[in-house]
Amino acid sequence: MRLTPAHLDMATVALRAVLPLQHPADSLLRHFFQDNRKLGVNDRAFIAETVFGILRHRFFLERVVEIATPRSLLLAYLAKFSGMNLRELVPLVSETEAKRLGEMKAVSLESQPLGVQAEFPEWLLEKLREFMDDGAILDLGRSLQAPAPLDLRVNTQLATREEVIELLRKDGIEGTPTPYSPIGIRLTGKPAINRHEVFMSGKIEVQDESSQLLGYLLAPRRRDMVVDFCAGAGGKSLMLGALMCSQGRIYAFDNSEKRLNNLKPRLKRSGLSNLHPQLIANENDIKVKRLAGKIDRVLVDAPCSGLGTLRRNPDLKWRQSPQSIEELKRKQAAILSSAANLLKPGGRLVYATCSFLPEENREIVENFIANNPRFSLLNCAELLHQQKIPLDTGVFMQLQPRLHGTDGFFAAALESGKAQI
């Protein structure tokens, strides 16, 4: 695409709408596109990639521009990170801007403080330094600055992975099997997959490979009673339903009617008959309590900081804080405690977050086990090996973007023993 002054103007307007970050960036950008329906597909792609690119590199950009305006950040990003040559930009900017861009382009990333190089706010840097050295922090930060790939999950009720890869290939969409999930496909580029026949017919869902692996840790059997405790829009519930061959029963709990409504068209496409969405007020809802001691498998993808998804949601660095994480930790502990009450003796619970902070992950799990001795920790590497998945991060599953090509997901698997008298 050949860049024009109009592209710069429209991207600047979009960035101005997003940057207060009073709501999630993807939601703000979606509203911007709804208000500007005449924008073409290429224009939308340029604006989206640029806005999210700026958010990924915002600490560096704000440090090197003289005054951080939407336009100055946009131009600095294009010159430094988009791969554009200055000769392409110079005809589109003023003489003063061109001079400043030349000076800025010469600034070395390596000369910046750790927080700027890693693109982490100071509060997060302090938390990471409690369990990581500076080299590991920089490695993590850089891995989270790259855009995430587009992963698909094949609905094994309707198709095989090989069939879907071939159907996509015929339409010029290249995909390869994911390294770990037996039913995942990683696409090349970001095609508009939601308009493709394989999506419309329910044969695939968009789902990161890390999220798919939770289903294999839970490993529900065909006639099990299963609860997806924080189901959201139901991506993991749909996977569990397919793993169970549409048998047994799955309750998809969530406290957001909007999110559960988003599950309805996905459920219809999937062809599943064993999935039952349930709106609950909170973790102590009567719909939850009536299932106490009756459930074989429980999945708790707990509300969390989302910091493991910074490749997709870079705005979270400004929308989270130490205070918000303290509040999340209280919710996580309460949800885990309530969800655990649902299990039969011998039942399995998988607790997961898309975060790399121990205080949201292993500390929550270890505190729970210390207070609930009838629960024991299972080894995630062994559970995945039983599913013929060659992934070993130890007792806990802690995925990292650089090592595994996934979001920064954490999971722990617990088993319920007999109730103590």
Helix (H) or strand (E) holding 254: strand 249-254
Question: Virtual CA dihedral for 311, 316, 322, 325, nearest 10 degrees?
Answer: -90
230 included as an active-site residue = no
CB–CB of 274/244 below 8 Å? Answer: yes
The C-alpha atoms of residue 341 and residue 344 are separated, in whole angstroms, by 8
Asked if residue 68 lies in contact with residue 77, where contact means CB atoms within 8 angstroms, the answer is: no
Q: Tokens 């997961």, residue?
A: 352
Of 310, 337, 322, which Cα lies nearest the Cα of 56? 310
Picking from 308, 316, 305, 325, the residue whose alpha carbon sits closest to that of residue 23 is 316
* DSSP conformation letters of 40-54: -HHHHHHHHHHHHHH
CB atoms within 10 A of CB 345: 11
One of 230, 245, 304, 354 is an active-site residue; which one?
Answer: 354
Alpha-carbon distance 207 to 187, whole Å?
A: 12
Please give the positions annotated as active site: 354
